[in-house]
Each structure stands twice: as structure tokens, then as C-alpha cells.
Amino acid sequence: MKEINTEIKVRGYHLDGYQHVNNARFLEFLEEARWSYMEQNPGFRDWPKGVSFFVVNININYRKPAAFGDVLSISTRLCDIRKKSATIHQDITNKGTGIVVADADVVFVLVDEKTQKTIPLTGGMYTVLENIAGFHGID
């Protein structure tokens, strides 16, 4: 499975009153890494116009705090493709300590921008996702 890493340095505006990264900021970090994953993955060059990703569920585990100046490495990979949805797994690791500070599974569906209806992940759409993930097999 193809994995891409994105680094983010914790800035002062990422912190809450307790001087660690606010929980909502982790969601922003994860989103930034997903965009980076798409930009860096050659398989997305074949992505059809007019088809968008819609996040329908995020399950995040906050494991350790991150603080000002920490460099976070976010690994992102497409780990599961089903008939109607797919899942991206992400780990946020403190690069300095090697400790995982959070991990998440992000479930998304594909939506036709014209009709605003979901698109089944079969046929051509499945093949594109399968190539991006680097594995074969559907549930």
C-alpha cells in the first residue's frame, strides 16, 4: 500500500490555553496530509473531473499531546476500498520522539458534482483507487 508522509511544524496559533495542539487542529493536520497524499500520488493524475471526495466519518484517537515547535510526521495511506466507501488511515507521529500522538481512520464516499449523488466504487472508479492504494480486492 502506497504511503506518503507529510510534515507539519506546530506553530503558536495551533495551541490551546493548555499550550498543546487543540484537538480540532489535528483534524486540519489530517486534512492537509490527505491533500498532500493526493498531490504526491501519481494515481490521482487519472482522477476524473467532476468527482469529489466527501468525508462521512472520522474516527480519531488522541494519544499524546503535541506542543509548540514539535515537528509532526503524518503518514497517509488508502487502506480499504468497499463498494460504497473507502478508508484512509493516518498516523501523526512526533518526529523528534517517534511517539504516535494521534491516529485516525477517515471514511469517504465519492460524489458526482453535477447530480450531488454518491458514485459506487466499482468499475473505473475502483480501478483508479486500487492503483493509488497499490493493492487489489474489494469487499
Residues 35, 40, 42, 47, Cα dihedral to 10°: 20
Q: According to the model, what pLDDT value does residue 136 have?
A: 59
Domain ranges of the chain: 3-133
- Can 16 be counted among the known catalytic residues? yes
Instruction: Write phi, then psi, for 112 (nearest 5 degrees).
Output: -75, 120
pLDDT digits (tens, 9 = 90+) for 39-72: 887 777 767 788 888 999 999 999 999 999 999 9
What's the mean pLDDT when you consider all of the chain? 90
Residue ranges, the chain, pLDDT below 70: 1, 46, 135-139
Which residue in 16, 80, 91, 105 is the catalytic one?
Answer: 16
Q: What topology is assigned to 3-133 in CATH?
A: Thiol Ester Dehydrase; Chain A (3.10.129)
- Cα(110)–Cα(4) distance, integer angstroms: 21
